[in-house]
């Protein structure tokens, strides 16, 4: 039994041990500052390679599932079972002509293509991928994520404004309105969890769920739903993908982008989608904690399960209208997030921490809130259904044959 536990421990900590071994080898012939610099550079390089490699897998994964949802095969031409289709698409984007509009602001136009990618990799630096597997355990981890995530909004607006295109500008304005509206409930939904933990560190959040012996999705199910819904809107995923609504504004903020610049926007979108799932895993699903399997395996299982839910939503739900999008945020998500925050603070003050009584109290609180929402919203939903006015079909004009 001890031998098996030793093997499992080695597999669990294999990446951490590899990092320590590499650092020890460098210390044999480099000063401390040199070892620190190279280890920082190696960490950044690993995060970039991981992000790029994840895109290849995630892209094929998403297109295959969307194909099955729509009763088709999906990519199946390039490589075995179509697994190399993303490589073919990447070669195509790299070799396409890079066009810049004549009247565009060239400096801002080119910077906007690179700007959204940098914050996405910066967010990965504070995510604990496993036990001891975090690039930087910041004491203000979640605050750092929120601050860095806001930079993507500025980059997208830069792209829309600098294109000198009315459709791109509309897409950029939609992005600003949508991201600001949904960032508020997204942050408020997590504040309840931070009250239970007493820290902004992402590692401390995972460890606190081990002390509660329950993931926070059990103690804060409403907060989890609020966070995930707002986060989907924050990264412009369906059904909240209005900033690039092709049926209304061609392609939105990236209408004028082609080739490698367009690929940069796709890269940022996919990594952002992965990041929100990873943050939800860390904050609500216990992070890397789980039995038998290595900690990093549990982290990726939970994260990719949430990403599957994202794909499921994309293949199932229709796009919202602009008025529905804004009303849903300000009239539904924000009030619920505030109510959840206030009730969480009240219960946290009254019940002992890390106790069964506290866990039951938080669960009962969420059930009560959900029942109250149903009692308030259901009659209004029924009334709205009855007030729907059906437009009568116009009569076919009669043509005089004479």
Q: What is the mean pLDDT of the chain?
A: 81
For residues 320 and 227, give the distance between their C-alpha atoms in angstroms, rounded to a whole number.
18
Environment class of 384 (CB within 10 Å of its CB; exposed 0-12, middle 13-18, buried 19+): exposed
Interval 383-398: pLDDT, tens: 666 655 444 555 555 5
pLDDT at residue 386 in the model: 61
Does the pLDDT value for residue 354 go beyond 60?
A: yes
Query: Is 234 within the bounds of a domain?
Result: yes
Query: Is 38 within the bounds of a domain?
Result: no
Query: Is 289 within the bounds of a domain?
Result: yes
The pLDDT of 174-189, averaged and rounded, is 86
For residues 93 and 113, give the distance between their C-alpha atoms in angstroms, rounded to a whole number.
14
Query: Is 284 within the bounds of a domain?
Result: yes
Task: Give the pLDDT band of residue 282 (cuts 50, 70, 90).
Answer: very high
pLDDT at residue 301 in the model: 92
Segment among 7-16, 143-152, 278-287 with least mean pLDDT: 7-16
Query: Is 368 within the bounds of a domain?
Result: yes
Which has more pLDDT, 381 or 319?
A: 319
CB 225 within 8 A of CB 170: no
Task: Give the pLDDT band of residue 259 (cuts 50, 70, 90).
Answer: confident
Task: Give the pLDDT band of residue 20 (cuts 50, 70, 90).
Answer: confident
Query: Is 55 within the bounds of a domain?
Result: no
Task: Give the pLDDT band of residue 348 (cuts 50, 70, 90).
Answer: confident
For residues 218 and 359, give the distance between their C-alpha atoms in angstroms, rounded to a whole number.
8
The pLDDT of 35-51, averaged and rounded, is 86
pLDDT at residue 228 in the model: 92
Range of 189's domain? 101-380
- Using a pLDDT cut of 70, give the percent of the chain over it: 91
Task: Give the pLDDT band of residue 250 (cuts 50, 70, 90).
Answer: low
Total domains, the chain:
1
DSSP conformation class of 355? S
Task: Give the pLDDT band of residue 133 (cuts 50, 70, 90).
Answer: confident
Segment among 114-123, 238-247, 259-268, 347-356 with least mean pLDDT: 238-247
Going by C-alpha positions, the residue among 355, 358, 340, 210 that lies closest to residue 286 is 210
For residues 20 and 62, give the distance between their C-alpha atoms in angstroms, rounded to a whole number.
36
Interval 52-91: pLDDT, tens: 888 888 888 888 888 888 888 878 887 787 778 878 878 8
pTM, to two decimals: 0.86
pLDDT at residue 281 in the model: 93
CB 144 within 8 A of CB 138: yes
pLDDT at residue 224 in the model: 92
Does the pLDDT value for residue 123 go beyond 60?
A: yes
pLDDT at residue 280 in the model: 93
For residues 281 and 268, give the distance between their C-alpha atoms in angstroms, rounded to a whole number.
20
- Using a pLDDT cut of 90, give the percent of the chain over it: 8
The pLDDT of 37-53, averaged and rounded, is 86
CA atoms within a 13 Å half-sphere pointing along the CA-CB vector of 232: 25
Segment among 24-33, 95-104, 306-315, 372-381 with least mean pLDDT: 372-381
CB 115 within 8 A of CB 105: no
What is the dihedral sign for C-alpha 202, 204, 205, 206? positive
Query: Residue 133: phi, psi to the nearest 5?
Result: -105, 75
Task: Give the pLDDT band of residue 306 (cuts 50, 70, 90).
Answer: very high
The pLDDT of 233-241, averaged and rounded, is 82
Instruction: Report CA-CA distances (Å) from 330 to 136, 344, 377.
Output: 34, 21, 15
CB 351 within 8 A of CB 357: yes
| Cβ count within 10 A of residue 265 | 21
Query: Is 145 within the bounds of a domain?
Result: yes
The pLDDT of 334-352, averaged and rounded, is 84
Query: Is 92 within the bounds of a domain?
Result: no
Environment class of 43 (CB within 10 Å of its CB; exposed 0-12, middle 13-18, buried 19+): middle
């Amino acid at each position: 039994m001890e031998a098996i536990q030793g093997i499992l421990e080695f597999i669990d900590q294999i990446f951490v041990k590899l990092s320590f071994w590499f650092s020890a080898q460098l210390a044999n012939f480099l000063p401390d500052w040199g070892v620190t610099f190279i280890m920082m550079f190696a960490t950044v390089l690993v995060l970039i390679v991981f992000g790029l490699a994840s895109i290849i897998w995630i892209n094929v994964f998403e297109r295959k599932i969307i194909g099955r949802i729509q009763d088709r095969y999906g990519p199946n031409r390039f490589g075995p079972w179509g697994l190399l289709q993303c490589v073919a698409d990447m070669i195509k984007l790299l070799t396409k002509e890079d066009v810049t509009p004549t009247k565009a602001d060239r400096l801002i136009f080119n910077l906007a293509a690179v700007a959204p990618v940098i914050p996405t990799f910066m967010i990965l630096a504070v995510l604990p991928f496993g036990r001891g597997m975090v690039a930087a355990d910041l004491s203000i981890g979640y605050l750092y994520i929120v601050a860095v995530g806001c930079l993507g909004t500025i980059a997208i607006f830069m792209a829309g404004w600098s294109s000198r295109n009315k459709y791109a500008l509309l897409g950029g304005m939609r992005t600003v309105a949508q991201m600001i509206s949904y960032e508020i409930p997204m942050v408020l939904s997590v504040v309840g969890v931070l009250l239970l933990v007493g820290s902004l560190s992402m590692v401390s959040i995972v460890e606190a769920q081990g002390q509660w012996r329950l993931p926070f999705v059990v103690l804060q199910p409403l907060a989890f739903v609020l966070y995930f819904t707002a986060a989907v809107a924050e990264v412009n995923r369906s059904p909240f993908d209005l900033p690039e609504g092709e049926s209304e504004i061609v392609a939105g903020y990236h209408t004028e982008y082609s080739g490698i610049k367009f690929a940069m926007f796709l890269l940022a979108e996919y990594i952002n989608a992965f990041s929100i799932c990873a943050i939800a895993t860390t904050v609500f699903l216990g992070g890397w904690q789980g039995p038998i399997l290595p900690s990093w395996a549990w982290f990726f299982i939970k994260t990719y399960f949430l990403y599957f839910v994202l794909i499921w939503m994309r293949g199932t739900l229709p796009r919202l209208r602009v008025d529905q999008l804004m009303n849903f945020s300000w009239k539904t998500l924000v009030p619920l997030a505030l109510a959840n925050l206030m009730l969480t603070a009240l219960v946290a003050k009254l019940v002992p921490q890390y106790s069964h009584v506290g866990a039951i109290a938080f669960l009962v609180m969420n059930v009560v809130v959900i029942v109250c929402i149903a009692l308030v919203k259901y009659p209004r939903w029924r009334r709205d259904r009855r007030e729907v006015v059906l437009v009568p079909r116009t009569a076919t004009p009669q043509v005089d044959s004479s």
